[in-house]
Amino acid sequence: MTPPVRTPYGFTPYVLTVDAGLRDLRAADHLLRTFAAELPLTVGGFGCTHLVRGERPRVVVSLAPESGEEPDDVRARLVAMGYEATEGAPDAVGRAVLYRGVDVLRGTLSVEEVLSVSAIDRVAVLGTTGQPDPATRLVTHSHVRPLWQSGELVLTAMPAAGGALVPFEVPDPTPCCADH
């Protein structure tokens, strides 16, 4: 196995990227959940989406299984599922869909609880410079998608009614120009 390297996901033995030609985040989220169900991924790993711009805009996914899982085993399973996996992450700013604690970020939790039960390193609130009070409530809508920023997993939130916070990314956004 190769020695651990510094990636957007911290130090990990390897990262695999799959380009399935997806055009939207919802499809990429679904693909990552399929991988989580069918591959030997453990709770300490990561699954992220990445936007690829240029002549052929699309969304690719990356997997950083927890240390101890063999890259050849994961790659072989991906190939058996009909996907090609390349080594490395496509960029340093992935949007995390699979990470430690994602399954318990449901309902309303305090910022302190979010940070203690998940891989999220910090919560940033739009329009502010400091950290939110640890007791501040975060209404998750069961959809928490933090981003890698300078090697930290950061959840961007925005103020909501009653002094609570909500994740900036909503589960079912209204498509642009939906009303015309």
Q: Which H or E run includes 32?
A: helix 25-38
**Per 3-state DSSP, what percentage of the chain is helix, strand, and coil (rounded to 5)?**
20, 30, 45
Please state, in angstroms and rounded to a whole number, the distance separating the CA atoms of residues 111 and 146.
13
Token pair 């990227």 is at which residue? Answer: 17
pLDDT for 177 = 54
Show the beta-strand stretches assigned E in 10-72: 10-12, 16-22, 46-52, 58-64
The model's pTM? 0.85
Query: How high is the pLDDT of residue 43?
Result: 64
**Average pLDDT for consecutive 10-residue bins of the chain (180 residues)?**
43 78 95 86 81 93 76 84 90 90 95 96 94 97 93 94 94 59
pLDDT of residue 40: 65
For position 31, what pLDDT does the model report? 96
